[in-house]
Structure 1
Amino acid sequence: MTTSERAPLSLQLEFLRMMDGGGAAGPFGPRYTIVAGWRVIGGLNSAVLKESLDYVVARHEALRTQVVFADGEAYQRIVPPDAARLTTRKLPETAPEHRERVVEEFLNEVEAEVSITTETPRMRAVLGRFDDHDGVLAIVAHHSLVDGWSMQVLMRDLTACYAARRAGGSPQLPPVRQYRDYVAWQQERADSAAVRKAQEFWRRHLDGARVLPVPNDRPRTPDPYTTGWHRFMLEDGFRTATLAAARQYRSSPFMVLMAAFMVMLRDRTGVTDLVVPTLTTGRDPSWTLDVIGTFYNFMPLRADLSGCRDFADVVATVRASCLATYPNELPFLQVVTEAPELMSAVMDPGAAAVAFQVIQHGVALDGQTVDGLRFDAIRRRVVSTPVGSQIPDGILAELDLHPDGGMFGKVAYTRHMYDEETVTGMVADLRRTLLETVVGRSVAA
């Protein structure tokens, strides 16, 4: 391919377009990024890493795609491969036992930078080095075209190429399909029986429903804004109690934690018929598991807690909602078409939505060795930052049950509407709710 090619927008990109207020703060602006980091132990060859980044850019079209709005049209423009951007930074000389803090501060610094706009590739890499055998690799990509799952695919292909190049060969990876193939699949099934059945489900399930509005500290304005990230850790007892509760209630950890989150919101707002958005990977059909692109769906989970006598009833209600909802997953634009008033309460200038998710999938190259290099995914983060990767609106809360112990949380909040004190108050309420509903129950049992 020597010239750029055009492809339609996916429904996920159309949803981001609906959320876009224009300007630098929206989901197509320079701060709407996703950042993943890996600690790298061993003698990393920067030149081979750069070659491997170039390979990944050539392999995956999404990394060299621009979203274009011009002359009343909106489309993807796929451009020919270009050199990837790799920069190296010297990290402060620090004793090994203090390096985790430096690593977190380095990642926060990378996230706060404004560097990805309309140029391609839509990703870059920053290598921080303590010395020749201890470093941090941060991958930054534009979140309109790359999601969290994609970062794992990217890293898998990057390290496969790195190992092959170091051995003097070429990576033996299977052919990969592209994001435009997914868009074509999506368009082909737009009026299928499966989609119509799912739309009918959402029409019934969301009848009379409204996404729960959470009052702002300040009214929403069209002015530019930044996103703050409040990070925290809950002791390992929260993780083990959650896993025990999931077994007891024949549920997933997500169902238990969403149930606790809804109890917290009910107690804060007095609302019992709750609709709380969550994010799903959206990786259907299965061949999309190896494709880089933006597939995640904004899914509203509805649970009426008015008849719940105790926490077991709440979990059962949330579980039933999840089991009914997930088989009918659709991109949010197809959902909201069936419930046009769903977002009305959170579009008010004085309120916004709070989305909640739980990390439940594995992370690529966590504790694995490739060509003598050990890669450890950086998930244990507790250093907050006032300026980080952008979210389009409101608040996004996330919990991560770390397999090595502890439950790590982060809350992103748009700073033109919310103060950090409001966020820390919400986290304190969630901790207290978990103690009352999950941890205390586990100890009592």
Structure 2
Amino acid sequence: MDNVAIKTLLAELDAQGIYVYLQDGRLKLRSKLTTVPAPELAKIKASKDELIAYMQRHHQQQGDLSSAQQRIWFIDQYEQQSTAYNMCGLLQLSDSLTINELQQAFDTLLARHQILTTQFFNTEQGVVQRVNSQLRLALNTLDIAGHEIPTQIVEKLHDELSYRFDLENDLLIRATLIGHSGAGKWLYIAMHHIIADGWSVRLLVQELLAILTNNNTVNNAAACKPLQYLDYVHWQGQFKQSAIYQQQLSYWQQALTGMELFELPTSYPRDKQKTYQGKSQHSVIDTRLVTEFDSCCQQLTVTRFVGLLSVFYVLLQRYSQKQDITVAVPVLNREQPEFENVIGCFINTLPMRQMVSPQSSFAQLIAQTKVLVAQGLANQSVAVEDIIETLGLAKSSAHSALFQILFNYNGVDTGTVEVATLSAKLLPLDNGTAKFDLTLNVSESEQGLEISFDYCSALFDDHVIQQMSNDFNQLVISLGNNAAQTIATVELPSARYASQLLGRKKAHEKVSSDVLALPVQVIKQAELSAEKITCIENNYLNH
């Protein structure tokens, strides 16, 4: 068979959802043999040697973008290389490493994972991602004194934290060894979200440690991986044509038809253009209180995730006085076992729409949320972009079309990775951005539950978010102790702040945004240019 005939055969197989790939030089089918029609199976067997030779010569180096990548690419183009989708972390290593050791380890990682050397281009045929195997990570170094603590190190990483990746020209991963004289126990890593997700970060760190410690178990498994991220993109394109995908899409269409975009009342009016300027507020719910809440969840036969999501719905209902509430919930989206250990951006976000009646008890809300989560996870493969298109939702430059609020629960302690004799403690870093109006992050730690509220600082006052964070923690305690309480009557410690927000929202609707935001704009301008004129009224005032 010539190349044209082989391409034609592969296209025919693709059209029927039959995916052929190479593993250790052998031809493999993703579909079960029993599901492949006899004529097609006969063609594959007859052309086996030609297919293997062709695929070895034309190993996939370019392809379309996945649904998740398309969303991120669009935002990057619109925002002109925003830092909102930079994934930054600081690794505290158990042993000091040299720059040469780390450089060799990163070289091996980049050779294994094509996505780490992938760049993105806008062509006449559309946006494509292209592997550039010539790219090499140039490891940076930062000298510090031996006694410096993480907060002092972060201050010295200011330029790195504010680095704007160029998706077309840059290597989309950066690293800095922090120590003294070319060796150190601190390692800063940054990647653009378009090539990785949270799960990928842990995979990358685990493989990095395995290479450094010559751990054969992890190294052999990683080196023999048959699939790359482009294989997933190809599979996703096939899956979108399947009846299963269309069934899942129908579920979301029915679940979200007639919904109104849920928004919290804000401290300041919303600008016409979305801003990613953000801040974070952190707190901890200690282990004893978490255990009491877990007991409540066990009695109601739900997971901690369902319980905490239900508490969040209560908080949002009390602050907004709305009943139709949609919260975004990210999922790993790695249901296929062969993609579980592939680095790339797999994550999907599910719009969980809940009707929260103030007259319902917390126990009743938990029961509703349990069903909602089960249905959502059963239909989790549908890309959020396809949901938006199916619903015919108008896109806005000021906010997301489906949701403004996100609940991100990490049910395992991913703070420390250990391989053989080497370990790394991962400290996520705040780069001063917020992707959504408000994101509640919950993760496990030795101290209990780490609670983090990320918020758009152009919309919310710091003090309001602090009170909201306190309210969430108190609701976990109160509702965990008495799930029979109704949502309307459960004590909200900072109820007056919620009322103030509602009052401000009504004012926003009546008063011009420019007039209402004047004090806020004055403050912001003062921070930017302290010597310029504030305003003129008879005489002038400067900052």
* TM-score interval for Structure 1 and Structure 2 normalised by the shorter chain: 0.7 to 0.9
CA distance in 1, matches of 2:372, 2:275: 37
Question: Which among 345, 367, 384 is matched to residue 332 of structure 1?
Answer: 384
Match of 1:196 in 2: 246
Identify the match of residue 117 of structure 1 among 162, 166, 183. Answer: 166
Alignment match, 1:10: 66
Q: Name the structure where helix makes up a greater proportion of residues.
A: 2
Give the 3-state SS of the residue equivalent to 2:72 in structure 1.
helix
Cα distance change on mapping 1:59 and 1:260 into 2, 3 Å: same
Structure 1 residues 325, 31: CA separation in 2 closer, same or farther (over 3 Å shift)? closer
Whole-angstrom distance in 1 between the partners of 2:400 and 2:112: 43
Matched residue, 2:92:
39
Task: Give the distance between the partners of 1:344 and 1:174, measured in 2 at CA.
Answer: 44
User: Structure 2: how far apart are the matches of 1:377 and 1:348?
Assistant: 30
Corresponding position of 1:135: 185
Q: Secondary structure at the match of 1:117?
A: coil
Cα distance in 2 for residues equivalent to 1:16 and 1:101? 29
Structure 1 position 435, deviation (Å): 2.7
Name 2:107's counterpart in structure 1: 54
Inter-CA distance 29–249: structure 2 relative to 1 (3 Å threshold): same
Which residue matches 1:300?
351
For residues 482 and 184 of structure 2, the distance between their equivalents in structure 1, rounded to whole angstroms, comes to 41
Aligned-partner Cα distance in 2 for 1:93–1:262? 46
Deviation track 1:345-386 (CA, whole Å, cap 9, x = no partner) reads: 98499x9711111112452853x253x43323337x8xxx6x
- Residue 417 of structure 1 corresponds to which residue in structure 2? 459
* Structure 1 SS opposite 2:460: coil
SS at match of 1:338: helix
Secondary structure in 2 matching 1:215 = coil
Instruction: Write the letter of the residue equivalent to 2:309.
Output: M
Q: How do 1:314-329 residues align onto structure 2 when only pairs under 5 Å count?
A: 314-329=365-380
CA distance in 2, matches of 1:391, 1:82: 30
Of residues 337-346 and 134-143 in structure 1, the stretch that sits farther from structure 2 once superposed is 337-346
- What are the superposed Cα offsets for residues 96-128 of structure 1, whole Å, 9 maximum, x if unpaired? xxx46556x469747732153234421112222
**Partner secondary structure for residue 82 of structure 2:** coil
Identify the residue that residue 22 of structure 1 maps to in structure 2. Answer: 78
1:184 matches 2:234: yes
Say if 1:412 and 1:253 are closer, same or farther in 2 by CA, change over 3 A.
same
Q: Give the partner amino acid of 1:116.
A: F
Q: Deviations over 1:259-311 (max 9, x none)?
A: 00000000011111221111111113221111111111111112212276311
Match of 1:286 in 2: 337
Normalised TM-score (structure 2) = 0.69
Instruction: Report if the CA contact (8 A) 2:272-2:397 is conserved.
Output: no
Note closer, same or farther for the CA distance 1:218–1:136 as it changes in structure 2 (3 Å cut).
farther
Match of 2:439 in 1: 396
Tell me which of 247, 256, 263 is aligned to 1:213.
Answer: 263
Q: Secondary structure at the match of 1:144?
A: helix
Q: Is the 8 A contact 2:141 2:177 kept in 1?
A: yes
User: SS at 1:416's partner residue?
Assistant: coil
Identity of aligned residues (%): 18
- Give 5+ residue unaligned stretches, structure 1: none
How many residue pairs match? The answer is 423
Query: Residues of 2 paired with 1:247 and 1:164: CA distance?
Result: 43
Instruction: Decide which of 106, 118, 126 is 1:73's aligned counterpart.
Output: 126
Provide TM-score, normalisation by structure 1: 0.83
Which deviates further from its counterpart, 228-237 or 245-254? 228-237
Tell me, in whole angstroms, the C-alpha distance in 2 between the residues paired with 1:234 and 1:198.
36
Q: Is the 8 A contact 1:146 1:294 kept in 2?
A: yes
- Once the two structures are TM-superposed, the CA of residue 7 in structure 1 deviates from its matched residue by 0.9
CA distance in 1, matches of 2:397, 2:319: 17
Structure 1 6/294 Cα, relative in aligned 2: closer, same or farther at 3 Å? same
CA-atom RMSD in angstroms: 3.5
C-alpha distance in 2, partners of 1:345/1:87? Answer: 37
Higher normalized contact order (CA 8 Å, seq sep 6+, divided by chain length): 1
Per-residue Cα deviation, 1:212-271 (whole angstroms, up to 9, x for no partner): 112342322438653323333233334323332332222121111110000000001111
Instruction: State the partner residue of 1:405.
Output: 447
Residue number among 85, 110, 120 corresponding to 2:138 in the alignment: 85
How far does residue 338 in structure 1 lie from its aligned partner after superposition? 3.2
Alpha-carbon shift at residue 410 of structure 1 (Å): 2.0
| Residue 440 of structure 1: how far off its partner (Å) | 6.4
The 8 Å contact of residues 42 and 133 in structure 1, kept in 2 or not, is answered as: no
Q: Closer, same or farther in 2 for the Cα pair 1:58/1:308, shift >3 Å? A: farther
In structure 1, the partner of 2:299 is: 248
Task: Kindly provide the amino acid, as one letter, of the partner of residue 437 in structure 2.
Answer: G
Pick from 231, 239, 261: which aligns with 2:282?
Answer: 231
Map Cα deviations across residues 25-60 of structure 1 (whole Å, 9 max, x no partner). xxx534521123332122323211111111111211
C-alpha contact 1:155 1:364 (8 A) present in aligned 2: no
Could you tell me whether the CA contact under 8 Å between 1:57 and 1:81 is conserved in 2? no
Give the direction of change, closer, same or farther, for the CA distance of 1:333–1:369 in structure 2 (3 Å limit): closer
Q: Which has the larger radius of gyration?
A: 2
